């Protein structure tokens, strides 16, 4: 958790009450479905989430507008938390990765042929393939490394909830959220 690297006492308090704890742990509270997204496991965790939010979120916010973008992001994060609770109820979960993976899916669906340049190694790849590869890697990792400490099913949950929301929005007028 990011705050813990700055102030351990505050970080421990936030971790205990704001991380998403499993349902049967005795520590679960309903607000954790929202608060867990604002805690992170360290500087690398928050950096990569913010970097992906910047790269994939900017174009989506320009297209959707701020209100729809925010609703999408938060619903993906909430859905990721719910799916993590029921599919992989391990230890506590922190981070906005589920919401970010929802944005990744939205970017891939909106700009499927947009070329993304991977940094390591520098390989150009179309967004639709990038999203499919990331989703497949998360599924494979979730099934083969259940105790890894990474919420693979939260990532997949964010993508799934994002897909459902995008498909729903395609059926309603663009000026409505629901």
Residues 14-33 have pLDDT tens digits of 888 999 999 988 999 999 99
Residue 91's CB is within 10 A of a number of other CB atoms, namely: 14
Provide CB contacts within 8 A for 32, sequence distance 6+.
Answer: 17, 18, 19, 20, 21, 81
| Mean pLDDT, range 124-134, rounded to an integer | 95
Strands 115-117 and 124-126: antiparallel
Q: What is the pTM of this model?
A: 0.90
The CATH number of domain 2-169 is 1.20.1540.10: yes
Q: Rounded to 10 degrees, what is the CA torsion of 48, 115, 104, 4?
A: 0
């Amino acid at each position: 958790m990011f705050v813990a690297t700055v102030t351990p006492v505050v970080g421990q308090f936030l971790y205990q009450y704001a991380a998403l704890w499993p349902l049967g742990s005795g520590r679960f509270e309903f607000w954790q479905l929202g608060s867990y997204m604002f805690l992170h496991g360290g500087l690398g965790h928050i950096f990569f989430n913010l970097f992906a939010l910047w790269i994939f979120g900017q174009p989506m916010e320009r297209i959707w507008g701020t209100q729809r973008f925010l609703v999408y992001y938060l619903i993906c994060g909430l859905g990721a938390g719910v799916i993590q609770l029921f599919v992989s109820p391990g230890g506590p979960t922190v981070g906005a990765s589920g919401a970010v993976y929802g944005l990744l899916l939205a970017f891939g669906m909106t700009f499927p042929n947009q070329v993304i340049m991977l940094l390591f190694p520098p390989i150009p790849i179309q967004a639709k393939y990038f999203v499919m590869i990331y989703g497949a890697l998360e599924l494979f990792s979730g099934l083969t490394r259940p105790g890894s400490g990474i919420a693979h099913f939260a990532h997949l949950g964010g993508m799934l909830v994002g897909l459902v929301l995008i498909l729903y929005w395609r059926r309603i007028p663009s000026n409505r959220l629901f």
